[in-house]
Copies of this chain bind each other. A is one copy, B any other.
Amino acid sequence: MSAEASLNEPLGEALLGGDLTAEQAVLRCLARIEETDGATRSFVSLRADQALAEARARDAGPSLGPLHGVPFAVKDIFDTEDLPTEFNSPMYQGFQPARDAAAVALLRAAGGVFLGKVTTVELASFGALPETRNPHNVEFTPGGSSAGSAAAVGGGEVPLALASQTAGSTIRPASFCGAAGFKPTWGRVPVEGMKPFAPSLDTVGLIAEDSGLLLRAAQACGIVHEAEPPGNRPLRIGFYRTPHYLEAEQETVFALEKTIHLLRSAGHHVEDVIGPPGAERLNDWQDTIMHGEARTSYLAEHARAPALLHPGVRDVVNNALGITFAELREAYDQVAALRPQFDAAMAGFDAWLTPAVPGEPPRFELGNGLATFNRLFTALWLPCVALPGFRGPYGLPVGVQLVAPRFADSHLLDTAQVVEALIGNESDL
Chain A residues proximal to chain B, CB less than 8 Å: 95-100, 102-103, 105-106, 109-110, 187-192, 195-196, 199-200, 221-222, 226, 292-293, 296-297, 299-300, 303-304, 325, 328-329, 332-333, 336-337, 339-340, 343, 406-407
Contacts and interface: CB of A to CB of B under 8 A. Distances in A.
B200 A192 contact: no
Contacts of A102: 297, 299-300
Count identical subunits in the complex.
2
B191 A196 contact: yes
A339 B329 CA distance: 9
Q: What 10 pairs between A and B have smallest CB-CB spacing?
A: A336-B336, A102-B300, A325-B407, A109-B303, A105-B300, A222-B299, A333-B340, A98-B98, A192-B196, A190-B296
A96 B293 CA distance: 28
Given A96-B98, A407-B328, A106 B187 contact: no
Contacts of A304: 105, 109
Given A191-B196, A299-B190, A300-B192, A99 B97 contact: yes
Contacts of A188: 296
B95 A99 contact: yes
Contacts of A407: 325, 328-329
Given A299-B106, A340-B329, A199 B222 contact: no
Contacts of A336: 332-333, 336-337, 339
Contacts of A98: 95-98
A192 B407 CA distance: 25
Contact of A106 (B95, B96, B196, B300): B300
Residue with the highest number of chain B CB atoms closer than 10 Å, among A189, A292, A336, A337: A336
Contacts of A195: 192
A187 B226 contact: no
B300 A190 contact: yes
Residue with the highest number of chain B CB atoms closer than 10 Å, among A296, A336, A340, A407: A296
Nearest to A100: B300
A333 B325 contact: no
A222 B333 contact: no
A205 to B, nearest CB: 15
10 contacts: A97-B98, A103-B300, A105-B303, A189-B296, A191-B196, A192-B297, A325-B406, A329-B339, A336-B336, A337-B337
A126 to B, nearest CB: 16
A304 B192 CA distance: 15
A94 to B, nearest CB: 11
A343 B333 CA distance: 11
Nearest to A222: B299
B191 A300 contact: no
Contacts of A337: 336-337
A187 B325 CA distance: 12
Nearest to A187: B293
Given A406-B325, A407-B328, A187 B333 contact: no
B296 A187 contact: yes
B340 A106 contact: no
